[in-house]
Each structure stands twice: as structure tokens, then as C-alpha cells.
């Protein structure tokens, strides 16, 4: 079997196009553009690329991007002060703080100041909690994108075994909750999991999110599985997933490539969340 490749770029373009239309409508209805603020502290090269991509996506989707580039020496209090200012700004609907923050800054403390109504990354405890409760919320972008990619296959995952490898607050845990909401039977694995292959080889849906280059090889994957590769591992300027694509593509039924799979979806879902935040605030 050779897997069908899930085209994340194409699906992301569809999500952004729908969001762009809603953004135009918003302007007609309320007389201003939807606004997204992005705070970048320091000059991490990967973060700069992510911020640039988010800005480009905003431009494509009729959303005003407000970029705040702060020097690495900025204090935690100064960052929080800026967040509070943006929280109160009626022209800004979404706010994200690009991670990671410099080592001396307490990320959790900073993120807790982002207004849950503007928390388009879905990282605030209120949004994370609502996701647990199954309530409508601004949900984390990467796992939301993962769900859209799974949806694009047309496969009903009800009762299927979904195995999420990785339990971070931004990918693994919310992805597991979203899969559960869709009635999959969910297993979450992590670095302390014993006999990992026992789980991965039983997965009808495998979400690989560990940050280890080409870790999941074809022999670890159940024939016919849907494989979602979240990993973004940079080596010598090249991007690698967590899945060893050449062997996995021979076994899976659907698979996401890296690049061009989950990555573009994360940005698209950020745009969708920003539009959602704007309309919810009305
Ligand atoms: P974290 O480092 O926060 O979490 C990694 C998780 O993987 C942890 O739960 C860890 O377990 C687990 N893990 C690590 N090694 C193993 C192993 N050998 N076996 C089983 N589990 C393991 O990473 P993130 O969740 O933030 O990101 C994961 C990957 O996804 C990275 O490559 C990141 O770059 C990428 N990413 C991609 C995005 C995109 O838009 N495409 C967005 C966000 C992330 P434990 O908890 O026990 O330490």
C-alpha cells in the first residue's frame, strides 16, 4: 500500500480563504479591520520566521497585523504591561506571545495575562479548561489543524484507536482531547511509555509529536493507519518530521508530509481563531 498524501498547504489555503471572506464581512459590518497582535521578545531565528509567516497570512486574509518586537532584555513586568495594553485595545481582537520567551521570563505567568477572549493560541487556562469540558473555546491551533487534516480524509474515526505520542500542553494533550471528543479511543504516549511500538503499531490514527527526527519508521505503524506528523526538526537548514516518511508512506493509508502538512495548518487555524475571536467579542 502507498499512502495518500494529505496536502496541508491546500487545506490551509481553504481555511484561510474562508476566514478572509469573514474578515471582509466583519469590516463591512463593523467599520474596521480585524486585528491580530504578535509579541516577539528577542531574536530567535525560528521565531522570527514563524512571526513573519503569521504576518503574511494576516495580509492575505484582510487582517491587520500589529507586531511588537521587544529586545531580549525586556523585563517580565514590561511584557505584561504591553499585554494589558493590548487586552484593552478595541482595535485588536487576537493576541499571541511568540514562544519560547527568553529563559529569565516565566512563560506561564506571562501567558496568564493574555485575555482569554483574545487568546488566539488557545494557551490560556480558561481556554484549555473549556477544551477539557468540551465547551466552545479558542482551541490550540496545531491540534485544531491536525483535526482538519484528519477530517480531510473523510474517514470516520468513531471507535478507532488514536495514539498521540507527545503530551505537551500545546500539541499532545489538546490533540488527545479533540480526538476523544470525536469518539476515538485515545492513548497518549510519552517519553516514559514502555514498549512504545506496542501502541503505535495498534494505532488507526497516529499523531507523532515528539520532536525527534524520523523516529517513527514504517515497521512501527499499523497498515492502513492515518499518520499525522507534527514534528519540525531542523537539521542543516532542512526540515524533517518525526516520521520516517519513505518507510511510513508504504504502510499508512494517509500521511502528512513535512514540510507541507501540519505546519501550514497551524497558521491557518490561528487566522481562523482570530476571526472567531473578533466575532465572539460582538
Ligand atoms: P515538547 O518538547 O513540548 O514535547 C515533546 C513530547 O514528546 C513530550 O511529551 C515528551 O515526553 C515526548 N517524547 C519525547 N521523546 C519521546 C520518545 N522517544 N518517545 C515517546 N515520547 C517522547 O514538544 P511540542 O509538543 O511542543 O512539539 C513536538 C514537535 O512538534 C516538535 O518537533 C515541534 O517542533 C513540533 N511542532 C510543530 C508545530 C507545527 O506547527 N507543525 C507546532 C508545534 C510543535 P515527556 O512529556 O515525557 O517529556
Residue-wise pLDDT for 194-220, tens only, equals 999 999 999 999 999 999 999 999 999
Residue-level pLDDT at 85: 98
238 an active-site residue?
A: no
Buried b (16+ CB within 10 A) or exposed e, 151-164: ebeeeebeebbbbb
> Which residues, judged by CB distance below 6 Å to any ligand atom, belong to the binding site of ligand 1?
142, 165-168, 170-172, 189-193, 196, 209-212, 230-233, 262-263, 266
Question: How far is the centre of ligand 1, averaged over its atoms, from the C-alpha of 169 (Å)?
Answer: 10
Query: What average pLDDT score do residues 146-166 get?
Result: 98
What is the strand order of the sheet 63-70 is part of?
Answer: 63-70, 34-41, 94-97
* Closest ligand 1 atom to 145 CA: 40
CA distance 74 to 200: 43
16 an active-site residue?
A: no
CA distance 198 to 181: 24
Residue given cell 476515538 in the structure block:
184
- pLDDT, tens digit, for every residue of 14-64? 999 999 999 999 999 999 999 999 999 999 999 999 999 999 999 999 999
CA distance 260 to 257: 6
Band of the pLDDT at 83, cuts 50, 70, 90?
very high
The two beta strands, 233-235 and 238-240, are antiparallel
Is residue 228 within 8 A of residue 195, CB to CB? The reply is no
Whether residue 1 is predicted with pLDDT greater than 90 in this model: the reply is no
CA distance 120 to 271: 8
Q: Of 22, 54, 213, 222, which residue is the catalytic one? A: 54
Question: How far is the centre of ligand 1, averaged over its atoms, from the C-alpha of 242 (Å)?
Answer: 9
Which residue among 12, 107, 143, 230 has the greatest number of ligand 1 atoms within 8 angstroms of its CB, and so is best to mutate? 230
- What's CA 45's distance to the chain center, in Å? 19
Question: How far is the centre of ligand 1, averaged over its atoms, from the C-alpha of 191 (Å)?
Answer: 9
Provide, for the chain, the percentages of residues in helix, strand and coil under a 3-state DSSP scheme, each rounded to the nearest 5.
40, 20, 40
Overall residue count recorded for the chain in this entry: 282
Residue-level pLDDT at 201: 98
Q: What is the mean pLDDT of the chain?
A: 98
Ranges of H-type helices in 64-167 = 76-87, 107-111, 125-133, 141-152
Whether residue 189 is predicted with pLDDT greater than 90 in this model: the reply is yes
Is residue 173 within 8 A of residue 167, CB to CB? The reply is yes
Band of the pLDDT at 118, cuts 50, 70, 90?
very high
Q: Can you read off the three cell numbers belonging to residue 165?
A: 505520542
Q: Kindly give, in sequence order, each residue whose CB lies less than 8 Å from that of residue 120, ignoring residues fewer than 6 positions away.
A: 36, 94, 95, 96, 138, 141, 270, 273, 274, 277
> What pTM did the predictor assign?
0.97
Which residue among 190, 206, 228, 238 has the greatest number of ligand 1 atoms within 8 angstroms of its CB, and so is best to mutate? 190
Among protein residues, the one with the nearest Cα to ligand 1's atom 39 is 263
Element (H, E) at 226: strand 226-229
Q: Of 22, 33, 93, 98, which residue is the catalytic one? A: 98
Question: How far is the centre of ligand 1, averaged over its atoms, from the C-alpha of 247 (Å)?
Answer: 21
Residue-level pLDDT at 23: 98
CA distance 132 to 189: 18
Torsion over CA: 122, 125, 127, 131 (sign): positive
Question: How far is the centre of ligand 1, averaged over its atoms, from the C-alpha of 224 (Å)?
Answer: 24
194 an active-site residue?
A: no
Amino acid at each position: 500500500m502507498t499512502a495518500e498524501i494529505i496536502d496541508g498547504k491546500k487545506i490551509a489555503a481553504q481555511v484561510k480563504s474562508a476566514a478572509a471572506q469573514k474578515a471582509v464581512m466583519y469590516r463591512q459590518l463593523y467599520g474596521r479591520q480585524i486585528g491580530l497582535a504578535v509579541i516577539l521578545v528577542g531574536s530567535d531565528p525560528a521565531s522570527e520566521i514563524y512571526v513573519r509567516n503569521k504576518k503574511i497570512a494576516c495580509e492575505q486574509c484582510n487582517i491587520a497585523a500589529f507586531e511588537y518586537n521587544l529586545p531580549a532584555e525586556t523585563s517580565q513586568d514590561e511584557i505584561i504591561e504591553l499585554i494589558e495594553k493590548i487586552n484593552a485595545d478595541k482595535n485588536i481582537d487576537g493576541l499571541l506571545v511568540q514562544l519560547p520567551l527568553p529563559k529569565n521570563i516565566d512563560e506561564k505567568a506571562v501567558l496568564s495575562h493574555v485575555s482569554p477572549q483574545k487568546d488566539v493560541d488557545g494557551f490560556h487556562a480558561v481556554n484549555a479548561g473549556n477544551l477539557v469540558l468540551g465547551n466552545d473555546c479558542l482551541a490550540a491551533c496545531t491540534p485544531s489543524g491536525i483535526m482538519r487534516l484528519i477530517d480531510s480524509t473523510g474517514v470516520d474515526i468513531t471507535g478507532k484507536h488514536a495514539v498521540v505520542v507527545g503530551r505537551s500542553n500545546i500539541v499532545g494533550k489538546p490533540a488527545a482531547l479533540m480526538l476523544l471528543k470525536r469518539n476515538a479511543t485515545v492513548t497518549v504516549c510519552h517519553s516514559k511509555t514502555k514498549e512504545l511500538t506496542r501502541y503505535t503499531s495498534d494505532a488507526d490514527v497516529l499523531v507523532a509529536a515528539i520532536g525527534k527526527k524520523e523516529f517513527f519508521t514504517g515497521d512501527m505503524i499499523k497498515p492502513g493507519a492515518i499518520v499525522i506528523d507534527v514534528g519540525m526538526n531542523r537539521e542543516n537548514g532542512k526540515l524533517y518530521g518525526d516520521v520516517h516518511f519513505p518507510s511510513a508512506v508504504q504502510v499508512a493509508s494517509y500521511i502528512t508530509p513535512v514540510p507541507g502538512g501540519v505546519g501550514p495548518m497551524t497558521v491557518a487555524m490561528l487566522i481562523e481563531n482570530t476571526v472567531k475571536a473578533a466575532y465572539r467579542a460582538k
